Structure formats: C-alpha cells, structure tokens
Structure 1
C-alpha cells in the first residue's frame, strides 16, 4: 500500500506490475513497431499480427511476400529488436 503522495509514473508502474499488464503492453508496442518498420507495401498484405511466447506471428495474404520475408526473418527480427531498444522478440514467424 502506498503512503503519502507518489509520482504518477511510480503509481502506473505499480498498477502495471500488480495487474500483470507488462506482457500486453509489450505486445502492442511490438506490433506497432513492426507495422512502422514493415512499411505500407508489407502492411497491405498483412492480415493480422500477434505476439506469443516472445514470438511475433505475422499472417500474410501473399505467398510471395511470405516466402520473401521468411528468408529474411533473422534480419527483420534484429531490426525489430533494435527499433524496440530491447530484445523483446526471439523469432518472427510468417504465416
């Protein structure tokens, strides 16, 4: 329990920790960062994206793009983690 006035940032950190929201917040950040990195051409053929167990799953509507991105998955993963400023993603799976 908190006593006396607390900085808002500290209160938010406590709420995030207590309610177990860190993973969900990270997932949103990962997906938003992926969309920014991928750009409009890849985003047009992206059906959905989600994060589970430190893996980013990207469902694509184009087999050609799926194949191309699959071959480049390690480079994309490195770029994504660099943009995130932390190693939050171990692997990208293109479906």
Structure 2
C-alpha cells in the first residue's frame, strides 16, 4: 500500500511518488531520451535516424546511413555525456548504433 502524503506535500513530491508507485520511470526515460536525441543531433542526423530505443541503460539508435553510423561511432562517449547532461542524470551508459 502506498504511503499517504499530508496536505503540505508539494506537487513535485506527489508526482515523484506516483511515478515510483506505478513504475513509470522507464517509460518517461525512453521518451526523454528520444527528445534529447532529436534536440542534440539536429536535422542532419535526424534525417537519417530511423528509430531510437532505450533498453535499460543502453541506447539503440537505428540509422539509414552507414557513413553517418561510422562517423557517430567515434563520438559515442560524447553522445552519452551530452544526453545525460540534457536529462540532468545518468540514464544512458552505452550507445549501440545500427
């Protein structure tokens, strides 16, 4: 049974508890990572991006350009750092480019 919050609880505390009790964090992280990828990579990369999926702490990015995939593979650590900074917490630990 969920802990009952008193009337003095902030909306943020209530939302955090709802997310925790209903186990919504993985879904929220997935959507947040997709948005971060779109914002950080820009139109050039997004044109060739087919799919972005977060499974656990691994980000799978499906690209339609082999040249772009090779180019991005050199900057995996930077991509991870940029996405985690955008989300303000460590969500992504590895990137797999396909």
- After TM superposition, the score normalised by the length of structure 2 is 0.86
CA shift at 1:8, angstroms?
A: 2.9
Measure the CA separation in 2 of the matches of 1:33 and 1:71. Answer: 19
What is the aligned length? 95
1:62 to 55, 60, 65: 65
Measure the CA separation in 1 of the matches of 2:25 and 2:46. Answer: 26
Are residue 20 (structure 1) and residue 23 (structure 2) matched? yes
| Contact 2:36–2:86 (8 Å) recurs in 1 | yes
- After TM superposition, the score normalised by the length of structure 1 is 0.88
Q: Which runs of 4+ in 1 moved over 6 A?
A: none
RMSD between aligned residues: 1.5
Measure the CA separation in 2 of the matches of 1:38 and 1:3. Answer: 41
SS in 2 for 1:87: coil
Measure the CA separation in 2 of the matches of 1:12 and 1:3. Answer: 11
CA shift at 1:43, angstroms?
A: 0.2
Measure the CA separation in 2 of the matches of 1:93 and 1:77. Answer: 11
Deviations along 1:35-64, whole A, 9 cap, x unmatched?
Answer: 100100000000000001201111001111
Are residue 79 (structure 1) and residue 79 (structure 2) matched? no
CA shift at 1:21, angstroms?
A: 0.4
Distance 1:22 1:64, change over 3 A: same
